[in-house]
Structures are given as structure tokens and as C-alpha cells.
Chains A and B, each alone.
Chain A
Amino acid sequence: MTTSFGTGPHTVRLALTGDLDYDTCGELLRRVRTALDGRREVTDLHLDCRELELVDSMGLSTLLEIHRSAGRDGIAFRLEGVGPALRRLLELTGTYEYLTNPQRSGTSAGSRHGRT
């Protein structure tokens, strides 16, 4: 799995390539944390899944983890370019809406406390 960045002042965009599975999910989590670390002005986190291949249950667990911690920090999280296989997995598990709608979960966007 590889990631690449495209970042504006308020939006961090990571493009994911390859498999997101048991072996690679820890790496993605680290990269997202690094990308957000200390950047209080970030309001949006987008993961581009166009080049993403296989996603297993640990991969999905990781996407949920990123979504949850983004929500905790008041960052809107969104998956982009969800292909048919990933879409199928997300629909099967009832997480498609949750992960692809750019809605802010957890704390409101205005509250930026507790961000690490």
C-alpha cells in the first residue's frame, strides 16, 4: 500500500494505492496521523480510493478508525473514488453512507479542543 499527498490549507487528501489489509492497515493509520499532526487549520480529510485494490475487514476497521478520530477532532472525513468492490463491501457492512457522506460526526466543526 502506498499513499500520496495533495494538501491545501484546509484539506488533506491522501491517495491510497494497493491493498489495504491486515498487513498494511497500521501503516495507513500512521500516515494519516503524520499528515494531520499539529495542523490545526485542517478541516477536511479526503481519502482517494481510486487506486485502492483489495480491502479486507481490518482495512475497513482502519477506515472506521480514521473516520472516528477525524470526527473527534472536528475534521470532516470522506472517502472518494470508491470503486465497485469497495462499494460492495461498504454496502454489505452498512457503512457506505457513514464513510462517504461528508458529514461531521462527533464534535462540531467549531470545537477544536482535544486535538493531538
Chain B
Amino acid sequence: MTSSPARPRTGAVSTVSVASAPCPVVVLDADGHVAELNAVAGTLLPTARVGRPLPSPTWLAAADRTRPVPVTGTVGDRSFSAHPSVAADGRTVWWLMEETAYRSASAELEAERARTRFLTEASSALLASLNLERCMEVTARLATEHLADAALVIAPTAARTLPVVACDQRGELTRSTVSEAPDSVPGLAEALRGFPPVPSRWIDPATAPDWLIPAGFGEVGSLVITPLPGLGVPAGALILLRRAQQDAFSEAEESLAGLFAARAGAAMSAARLYAEQNSISDTLMRELLPPTLRQTEGVEFAGGYRASKDTERVGGDFYDVHPPGEDSPETLVVLGDVAGKGLEAAVLTGKIRNTLHALLPMADDHAKMLRLVNNAMRTSHHTRFATLVVASVRREEREVALRLTSAGHPAPLIIRRDGTVEEADTGGTLIGVLPAITSRTARVRLAPGETCLLFTDGVTEARGGPLGDTMFGDQRLKRAAAECAGMPAEAVVERVQMVTSQWIGDGRHDDIAVLAITAPRGAHLSAVDGATRGRYTA
């Protein structure tokens, strides 16, 4: 064409080139009439006639002919872009390039990007919470926003009721419990069972029970049940509903729903596992929490426990005070420390406390009692051990008589009225590992106002001080204890806890347990200088 710009009519060269062009070519004159079209264009536009206005496509017929620019549009289900060349006499030659494949690819790419965006958004929204109910709500809401007109999330349950979270067509969430067996909806029971994995299942909307359909939803066009696969456990089922006037789910949408369900299922089962684990440690905690102590049989008892803040909430330190019973005339105090942390330590702690409780009638012979505990605790599985102190406590007149036995545990401190601090002369083997153990029992008497202090190595091994890395140590504990001379049990515990807390500051620490056994001073009747005994009421 460019070679024959001066010719009044279409030259031979251009005729040949239009006719032989591999793409559809339409030549329109200044009035929009078809001046020429090649065979490919004739096939594509069967209604186009030379000399007549171009009837379709309108996007080409209406294209600007004075200053033509490329235009795009569809012909049937195919996409084209038309590129103009200006010819003589105000004619425009439109070269039509097919873009169907390109357009569908870029549409597919855009859709894929949208799906990825959705799944990413879904993942972060779902993982933001470890709360099962919240996870179900997020799942229902996201499914309604991106996949369907309404969605229901059903959690698996052992009961004959179904916990349901629904998000309706207006985006409103409702939470309910449906008293229906899962088999009232075809495919729901299988989806909730989780194994073997079942694919999404189409349900005839007519068979769906009323509770599946949100109020005011209108006619249900399509309904699909997708299992939510959990981490080895079923996490529930997702039900998607579309209105009658909407398209049914395409294959791509269904596979997207599957990918979404996988994420939702993982998040829900993580939340469920977390909730279960939490309830297990809560149960254990309740069992293992140290008891509240008070005055028993005329002796003061006070205990303090500060759990390690390091991740595990249940610690390895414990104490118990068993008041006298039928078979045991004395109060038995136990304070101990189980090696390790976390659940394993907690289980061992529970075991040793229960065993000691059962052996209360043996408390008249500490060595024998500890031998029995040692035998009960020994196992071939591990060499976890416990160290502990048992104290048999009996009030005798104004004084308190103690039998103290340590099984591999730091010896209790005796705080005398004059501020001297003695270590009880007791020692023995730790519990739970060695086939044979020995122990040495100390007999101690506490005068009124004197205290026996039991503690775990969390106190002496607490790191802190000016440099933050110095152990609190025996000497500092003894000094702190000396300052507690004459104090009631409660005050001794508070004082020791306060001094160690100040030492630790913000630093890490192990479990810390302290327990004070104090002979009450009674009410003071006469003024004394502290060195003489004075008189007391009983």
C-alpha cells in the first residue's frame, strides 16, 4: 500500500496484500461503508457487504475514521484488536489481530492472582486466632465474601447436636447449635468424619433441610459440602450456598473452595488442639497448685510458690501439708522439686504427691516411707528424679517437735529466736532412680517464734544481683532468714520471697517454693526485751 500512495484506486499491490493478508482485513471508506474485505474477514464477519455500512461489530463500525487509533472488541466469543492504516480517499484499512488466547490467558492470570490474594488473606486471617469459635467465624465470613452467597461452618462433635456458624447473604454471622444428626444432610456425616477424605459433594438443594438455609435467602441454586481437613483429625465441614440466579460453581471455583477448606481446616484443628492442650494443662494446674495453708493443730504453716516464667506454666516444685489423721498423729509436710520442666515434670510431680499421700500411715518412719516412694517412682523409662524434704510436725506444749528428712534436697533452715540460723542435720538420696536409698532424719524442736524453713533450690540458685548473673546462694538465704527471727510463718515466707524477687529483678528464674513451719508466739502478756521468754497465752 505504501508503495502506491498516488494511485486514485486501490492498486494492484494493495489488493494483493489485503486479499493475501493472513489476518482479517476490512477497508472502510470515509462514510463507514465497506470498501473491501478479504476472505478471512468475510468468514469472520458474514454480514459485511462491500458498499454497505458495516453492520457489526459495532466497536469497529463506530471507530473514529478521521484520526483512527487501534480499537479492541469481541466478535462472537473471540477477541480482536483492530489496527488502522490510513489509505487514500479517507479510507481506513483495519487489520484485525486475534487476541482470544492472550485475553483468556491474562484473564486467567488475573483470576489466579485474585485467588492467591484470597488464599493469602484467608491464611493470615485464619491464623490470627487460636480460638476455635473465632476460626469458624472467619471461615464462614471469608467463604461468603469470596466463594458463595452464604456459608455454614459445622464443627465435628461427639454429641448429637451440631455446632454451626453461619454467614448469611448480608454477611451477618450467627452461631447456633442444631439438634440434628449429621446424616440429616447427605454427605455431611462423611465430611465430618474426616477419614477417609471425601471430595466436595453436590447436594440437590431441594433435599437440604431448612436449618441449612439462612432466613430470607430465597431459592437455593446450588449447594456444595466440602470437608475441612484437619491435622490428622477432622476439623469440620464447610457448606456453600448460591442463589438460584447465580451461576453454579465452576470447576475452578470448586478447586479454590478445596484450597480454602484446607487452610481453614488446618487453622481450625490447630485451634482445637490448642484448646485441648490448654484444658489439659489447666486441669493439671488445678491439681498441682500448692494448697492454701493455715494454722493447723496449733502450728503455723505458710507457703509461697513462684512458678518459672519460662514457657511452661506447670512447674516441678511442689508442697503439701497433710493434717493428722486416723493413722498418722502428726502433720506431714512435704516440699520437693522434680527434675525437668513442663508436662513431664508435672506428671511426675502428681505421681509423687499422690504416692506420698497414700503412704501417710508410714510417716512414723521417714526412711521406710522414702524407700517405698523410691520403689514406686522408679521406672526403666527414664532417670528423672525428685528431691524432697518430709517433715512430721507435732505440737508439744508450747513447742513444736519436728522430724525432718531430706531425700537429696537442700536441708531445711532452723531460724532461732535470737537470729541464729542452723541447717537441719539431715540428708539422703534422691528419689526415683537408685535401687537402694539411704536417709538420715533430724529431730528438731522449735520454741515459740522459731521457724523451720523449707525451700527449693530455685531460691539458692536464683541468678541476679548487681551483675545479674550471681547465684543467690546459701549465705544470702541464711542472712535473709536471720532477719526473720521471731516473725510469724506468713511473714517469713513473704520476706524470703521479697528478698529473692529483688535479687532476681527481671531475670529468668526456676520455680521457687518456700514453706515455713512456725511455733506460734501466742499473745504476749508482759513486756520483754526479746531475750527473755516472757509469758504467753496458749
Contact = CB atoms under 8 A, between A and B. Distances in A.
A94 B438 contact: yes
Interface residues of A, number: 16
B427 A92 contact: yes
Contacts of B339: 57-58, 60-61
Interface string A55-98: 01110111011001000000000000000000000011111001
Interface string A35-59: 0000000000000000000001110
Interface string B378-394: 00001111010000000
Q: At the interface, is chain B mostly helix, strand, loop or mixed?
A: loop
A64 B433 contact: yes
B449 interface: no
B96 to A, nearest CB: 73
A56 B428 CA distance: 18
Given A58-B340, A61-B340, 7 more contacts: A61-B383, A61-B433, A64-B434, A65-B383, A92-B427, A93-B387, A93-B430
B357 interface: no
A98 B434 contact: yes
Contact of B382 (A22, A57, A65, A98): A65
B429 interface: yes
A68 B430 contact: no
A94 B437 contact: yes
B383 A94 contact: no
A95 B387 CA distance: 12
Contacts of B407: 94
Q: At the interface, is chain A mostly helix, strand, loop or mixed?
A: helix
Interface of B: 337, 339-341, 382-385, 387, 407-410, 427-430, 433-434, 437-439, 457, 461
A17 B219 CA distance: 75
A91 to B, nearest CB: 8
A94 B385 contact: no
A94 B428 contact: yes
23 contacts: A22-B340, A22-B341, A56-B461, A57-B340, A57-B385, A57-B387, A58-B339, A61-B340, A61-B382, A61-B385, A64-B383, A64-B385, A64-B434, A65-B383, A68-B433, A91-B427, A92-B427, A93-B387, A93-B408, A94-B408, A94-B428, A95-B434, A98-B434
A68 B339 CA distance: 17
B147 to A, nearest CB: 47
Nearest to A68: B383
Nearest to B339: A57
B337 A57 contact: yes
A58 B386 CA distance: 11
Contacts of B387: 57, 92-93
Contacts of B438: 94
A51 to B, nearest CB: 19
A50 to B, nearest CB: 21
B458 to A, nearest CB: 11
Contacts of A93: 385, 387, 408, 429-430
A60 B387 CA distance: 12
Interface in A5-59: 22, 56-58
B341 to A, nearest CB: 7
Given A64-B383, A65-B383, A94 B429 contact: yes
Q: Which of A68, A91, A93 has its CB near the most chain B CB atoms (within 10 A)?
A: A93
A98 B341 CA distance: 25
Contacts of B382: 61, 65
A26 B341 CA distance: 14
A57 B317 CA distance: 12
A57 B339 CA distance: 5
A62 B384 CA distance: 8
A91 B408 CA distance: 8
Nearest to B387: A93
Q: Which of A56, A64, A92, A94 has its CB near the most chain B CB atoms (within 10 A)?
A: A94
Contacts of B427: 91-92, 94
Q: Which of A91, A92, A95 has its CB near the most chain B CB atoms (within 10 A)?
A: A92
A2 B341 CA distance: 23
B338 to A, nearest CB: 8
A64 B434 CA distance: 9
A61 B341 CA distance: 13
A99 B383 CA distance: 13
B383 A95 contact: no
A92 B384 contact: no
Nearest to B409: A92
A23 to B, nearest CB: 11
A65 B407 CA distance: 19
A92 B439 CA distance: 11
Q: Which of A57, A62, A92 has its CB near the most chain B CB atoms (within 10 A)?
A: A57
A104 to B, nearest CB: 13
A44 B385 CA distance: 25
A92 to B, nearest CB: 6
